[in-house]
């Protein structure tokens, strides 16, 4: 496998992503990854692709954003032989945390990570992963949270990017990789 998916591989992944109209509210077309998760062939092909891409990055950790980023992140961390770090919504982690606020179209929200998530290693190399980037607020906050915690976010990876929502523009100097783009 090369670092780019073939057209057939992209078609396979796309065939396992379902559109759900008017979810979670009218006018939204939700990209549902549960058919992808239910297909051992599609999920394995995706994870093989991501494993190959990130093998040479010399990562210390993979961080996943609550909740679907946990799925892809933990599988990838296991395949790469590195630790997995959960980045969760506020008040969901049991130990002392660092918190990052971010804007929503209707206000603010917060995410957090354990204060000792990246251990004693200053500048730990971290890959951030989530299922989808839309407007980018949550992912950008997670990216900043990794930096505040003393680690280095070497790249932010998304399975799906909704390009028409321009979430990528929040990342200016940060590296982003999207497997599938709409």
Which active-site residues does the annotation give? 68, 105
Tokens 């780019």 correspond to: 4
- What does the radius of gyration of the chain's CA atoms come to, in whole angstroms? 16
| Cα 131 from Cα 179, distance rounded (Å) | 10
Residues whose CB is less than 8 angstroms from the CB of residue 130 and which lie 6 or more positions away in sequence, other chains included: 64, 65, 68, 69, 72, 138, 139, 142, 156, 157, 158, 159
| Cα 84 from Cα 55, distance rounded (Å) | 15
Q: Where are the alpha helices (DSSP H) in 55-117?
A: 68-80
Tokens of 182: 């709409």
Pairing type for strands 29-32 and 61-65 reads unpaired
Tokens 């395949």 correspond to: 79
DSSP-derived secondary structure letter, 134: S
Residue 94, helix vs strand vs coil: coil
């Amino acid at each position: 496998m090369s670092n780019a998916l073939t057209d057939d591989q992209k078609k396979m992944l796309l065939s396992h992503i379902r559109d759900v109209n008017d979810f979670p509210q009218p006018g939204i077309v939700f990209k549902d990854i549960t058919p992808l998760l239910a297909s051992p062939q599609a999920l394995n092909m995706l994870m093989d692709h991501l494993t190959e891409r990130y093998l040479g990055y010399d990562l210390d950790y993979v961080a996943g954003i609550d909740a679907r980023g946990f799925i892809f992140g933990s599988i990838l961390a296991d395949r790469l032989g590195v630790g997995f770090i959960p980045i969760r919504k506020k008040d969901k982690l049991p130990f002392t945390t660092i918190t990052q606020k971010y804007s929503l179209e209707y206000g603010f929200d917060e995410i957090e990570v354990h204060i000792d998530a990246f251990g004693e290693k200053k500048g730990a190399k971290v890959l951030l992963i989530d299922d989808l980037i839309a407007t980018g607020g949550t992912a950008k906050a997670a990216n900043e949270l990794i930096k505040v915690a003393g680690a280095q976010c070497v790249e932010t990876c998304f399975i799906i990017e909704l390009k028409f929502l321009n979430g990528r523009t929040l990342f200016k100097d940060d590296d982003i990789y999207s497997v599938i783009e709409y």
